[in-house]
Structure 1
Amino acid sequence: MSTTEGVFCRRAEGLAGSVISPSKPSHKSPAGFFHTSSNLNAGCKRKPPTNPWALAKAAEKREKVRARKQELLQHRQKAASDPVVGHMTPFLEAMDAKPDVPPPIDHLVQPTDPQQRQVVFENVISEEHLSRLNHFLRPQEVTASIIRSKDLEEVPLAKTSEKDVSQGKEMHLKATAAMNRILSLGNGSSKDKTRANKSWCVETFGRHVTDEIFPRSRHVSTASNPITDPVKTPRVGRDTGSSEVQAALLTMKIRALAKQLESNPHDKMNKRNLRLMVHKRQKLLKYLKRNDRGGERYRYIMESLGLDDPAIMKEVFM
């Protein structure tokens, strides 16, 4: 027999031995015998018998869980704030409200007896409340000026008659009513209302006002040194550059622009401007949250503007 034939014979014998007598069986029984079943079914557990009552209870539990998830999802969607205009708050309601226009002076009271007319006229003027005024004035300043003017123009009783005193009092009431109508924001233009809203945002959220309400942050940087660090310059005048004031001013512009886009949905330029302002407000509020560490100042501005954390931290699609 040649060498080549011997090699082929040895290979054939090895293949036959491996097929006939496997040396490493994959599964063994406790008695040491081989399994005759398939290897796929050797490690499977026996399926328990079907229990209709348990299946019904499991299906009922799954249905309750699904219904509860749907209820919570609807509640979150309903409570979530609009990332553009937010939900309505007292601050936003007062900003969007149109000031009432006072009626003309001649229509305040009906023509009656002169003395009775003066009493009615005085009651009507005293009931007029000056809330938001034009020309950068405050109700306290106007009231103090009217009282001072009344004292200056009052004539001593010894030199005048009772008729002159009555006429002077009526003229003073008419002058007061005229001043109320001149200074009323309801008679101002749209530019006057915008200017008043800007001033109101500064007076509401400015640090020169809120520093007395909210305490300063207790989180002092470890790198700061009160001995070597320069002394911070004290604030002079009103605060117009803090993050909360800028966010409030942007909110005023955003709401006005969003209202304009409702009637002009194809105004693409203003849509882009609205998107830029919304993202800029997000950056300001993110910085305030990081700097204030979610403190009272951050929560105050968020509650006043009707926004929540998802409207600031998540991406806005417009």
Structure 2
Amino acid sequence: MPSRVLSSLQPLACNLSSSLAALQISTSVGAASRAGALFPLRHSQTLGQRYLDRSFQKATLHTTSSLNARRQKKPPSNPWAVAKAAEKREKVRARKEELRQTRQDAASDPVVGHTTPFLEAMDLKPDMLPPVDHLVPATDAHERREAFEKAVAEERLGRLNHFLQPDEVQTSLARSKALEEPPLHSAPEDYASKGKEMHLKATAAMNRILSLSNGSSKDKTRANKAWCVETFGRHITDEKFPQPKHPSIASNPETDPIKTPRVGRDTGSSEVQAALLTIKIRTLANQLEANTHDKMNKRNLRLMVHKRQKLLKYLKRKERGGQRYQYVMESLGLDDAAIMKEVFI
């Protein structure tokens, strides 16, 4: 009899437990809905999220074992290997630092570049020549004439002012000497020696008039520009660096028009413009070292540096990194990193 009672009561117990579970869930959902009705939407969402977090809290899985988390790393069993690895790491770090310092020392300044013979000659200021009257002491006429000849021969003028070349000056002085000399049969004895001494004085005076040491800063800048044109102009460098010809399918030498030959000096090519900008950049950079608060000239310097960068990028692309491009970069003291990377001034 008791077994039959238990078997009949078991379905009732199962139905009762399921009813109680459903009642609990409906009560919780109803409480959450009432909370959402009483409070704003955000509070109801917060309560619902909290309820879901509590419901799924027991279902959280952990893939890491607690034993592995508590396990401590064993100390190395071979101290010699540890010391050897530390020594190797230190050598690698020192080598990296050495290479970084080498690259930093070899890198060119993107503004003024590194020192080259061409830039040194640009920045060189000619020495002032002594006055003509104090060139030699007042001694015997023959000794004074020999001293004049030695002093004039040892004077190094370099680049001249007023758009003149040394060979032109020498030709003009020789012609004036020929016009001054009288016939030998009609000249007195001491006239020849005095005429030679006067010619030497005139040569020394012309050297001082035409020297850049007596010129202004504008004269020196003009001479530097003319020197850049004569150094990088294609009317000079075409013989040294001939333009490579890259034939294309569409070209036909018989029907293609002949290129007009160059007339006069080259003042518009990329290398000449980059060299002329280099003169202005170096002058303005030296001025900004003394006047650090000159914002307008600092902006002008930035514009000129970026313009030179564009010109040299175009030259590299056109010449395909050839000899002409390398010659310009080496003369101006720049490298590819200073041209291809972004410049901050």
Q: TM-score range by the shorter chain?
A: 0.7 to 0.9
Structure 1 letter corresponding to 2:211: S
Q: Percent identity?
A: 75
Which residue matches 1:108?
135
Q: Please report how far the alpha carbon of residue 38 of structure 1 lies from its aligned counterpart in structure 2 after TM superposition.
A: 5.6
Normalising by structure 2, report the TM-score: 0.77
Structure 2 CA distance for aligned equivalents of residues 39 and 223 of structure 1:
76
Which residue matches 2:275?
248
Structure 2 CA distance for aligned equivalents of residues 296 and 225 of structure 1:
27
Name the stretch that deviates more: 147-156 or 305-314.
147-156
Structure 2 CA distance for aligned equivalents of residues 247 and 223 of structure 1:
33
Q: Please report how far the alpha carbon of residue 224 of structure 1 lies from its aligned counterpart in structure 2 after TM superposition.
A: 3.4
The reply on whether 1:238 has 2:265 as its aligned counterpart is yes
Which residue matches 2:220?
193
Superimposed CA distance per residue, residues 175-221 of structure 1 (whole angstroms, 9 cap, x where no aligned partner): 11111111111111111111111100000000000001112224344
Which residue matches 2:238?
211
The reply on whether 1:73 has 2:100 as its aligned counterpart is yes
Q: Please report how far the alpha carbon of residue 223 of structure 1 lies from its aligned counterpart in structure 2 after TM superposition.
A: 4.3
- Structure 1: 5+ residue stretches without partners: 9-36
Q: What SS class does the counterpart of residue 202 from structure 2 fall into?
A: helix
Query: Residue 77 and residue 222 in structure 1: after superposition, are their counterparts in 2 closer, same or farther (change >3 A)?
Result: farther
Q: What SS class does the counterpart of residue 266 from structure 2 fall into?
A: coil
Q: Please report how far the alpha carbon of residue 61 of structure 1 lies from its aligned counterpart in structure 2 after TM superposition.
A: 0.7
User: What is the aligned counterpart of 1:95 among 118, 122, 146?
Assistant: 122
Superimposed CA distance per residue, residues 7-29 of structure 1 (whole angstroms, 9 cap, x where no aligned partner): x8xxxxxxxxxxxxxxxxxxxxx
Instruction: Determine which structure has more spread, i.e. the larger CA radius of gyration.
Output: 2
Q: How does 1:255-294 map to 2 (within 5 A)?
A: 255-294=282-321
Q: Please report how far the alpha carbon of residue 77 of structure 1 lies from its aligned counterpart in structure 2 after TM superposition.
A: 0.6
Q: Please report how far the alpha carbon of residue 294 of structure 1 lies from its aligned counterpart in structure 2 after TM superposition.
A: 0.6
Q: Please report how far the alpha carbon of residue 49 of structure 1 lies from its aligned counterpart in structure 2 after TM superposition.
A: 6.3
Is the Cα–Cα contact under 8 Å of residues 76 and 82 in structure 2 kept in the other structure?
A: no
Structure 1 letter corresponding to 2:224: N
Is the Cα–Cα contact under 8 Å of residues 233 and 269 in structure 2 kept in the other structure?
A: yes
Q: How does 1:158-177 map to 2 (within 5 A)?
A: 158-177=185-204
Structure 1 runs of 4+ aligned residues shifted over 4 Å read: 37-41, 46-49
Superimposed CA distance per residue, residues 258-299 of structure 1 (whole angstroms, 9 cap, x where no aligned partner): 011111111111111000000000000000001101100000
The reply on whether 1:151 has 2:178 as its aligned counterpart is yes
The reply on whether 1:127 has 2:154 as its aligned counterpart is yes
Name the stretch that deviates more: 245-254 or 103-112.
103-112
Structure 1 CA distance for aligned equivalents of residues 301 and 244 of structure 2:
33
Normalising by structure 1, report the TM-score: 0.84
Which residue matches 1:82?
109
Superimposed CA distance per residue, residues 235-262 of structure 1 (whole angstroms, 9 cap, x where no aligned partner): 1000000000000000000000001111
Q: What SS class does the counterpart of residue 158 from structure 1 fall into?
A: coil
Query: Residue 254 and residue 104 in structure 1: after superposition, are their counterparts in 2 closer, same or farther (change >3 A)?
Result: same
Superposed CA RMSD: 2.2
Structure 1 letter corresponding to 2:251: S
Query: Residue 152 and residue 257 in structure 1: after superposition, are their counterparts in 2 closer, same or farther (change >3 A)?
Result: same
Is the Cα–Cα contact under 8 Å of residues 234 and 266 in structure 2 kept in the other structure?
A: yes
Q: What SS class does the counterpart of residue 276 from structure 1 fall into?
A: helix
- Equivalent residues, number: 283
Which residue matches 1:33?
none
Structure 2 CA distance for aligned equivalents of residues 125 and 49 of structure 1:
84
Q: Please report how far the alpha carbon of residue 229 of structure 1 lies from its aligned counterpart in structure 2 after TM superposition.
A: 3.2
